[in-house]
Copies of this chain bind each other. A is one copy, B any other.
Amino acid sequence: MTPRAQTPNTARELEHPAAREIRLEEVLHALADPVRLRIVRALAASGEEMTCSLFDLPVSKSTTTHHFRVLRESGLVSQNYRGTAKMNALRRDDLERLFPGLLDSVLASAARQEERLSSAPPRPVRTSSASG
């Protein structure tokens, strides 16, 4: 077969769902995994493209690839090759148009939870009648 005639350097193009094909359930499912949520948060924090290898994840290389694929197929991130590296970016515009405010509230919730869980003193119950 060898159908890849010349295809200079843009040869490796990855399939992305069109904006209208993105489904809320899949986006939520993609975000529900701790590793993937971490990836999305890192991408949002950097605001720019990042290569896969920049992420410090507690899983193997293969698993990382798998998670990036899930993120891409759900429509959360876009990926394109740049030399040997693969650049990843959040599809903020598409997501904002489809689900206004969703990504931001998830990101804010994640940040809030991290703060709450890390700095949470073993505060017993605080019985100071001030009521909650």
Q: Which residues of A9-54 are within 8 A (CB) of B? A: 20, 23-26, 28-29, 31-34, 37
Chain A residues 91 to 106 lying within 8 A of chain B, measured CB to CB, are 98-102, 104-106
Residues of B within 8 A of A24 (CB): 37, 106, 109-110, 113
In the complex, A26 Cα to B110 Cα: how many Å?
12
Contact with B along A96-132 (1 / 0, CB 8 A): 0011111011101110110010001000000000000
**What is the CB-to-nearest-CB distance from A110 to chain B, in angstroms, rounded to a whole number?**
6
Give the interface size bracket for A toward B.
20 to 34
Which residues of A does B touch, CB under 8 Å? Answer: 20, 23-26, 28-29, 31-34, 37, 98-102, 104-106, 108-110, 112-113, 116, 120
Given A28-B37, A100-B105, 16 additional A-B pairs, CB 8 A = A23-B113, A24-B110, A25-B37, A26-B32, A28-B28, A28-B32, A29-B29, A32-B32, A98-B112, A98-B116, A99-B105, A99-B112, A100-B112, A101-B101, A101-B105, A101-B108
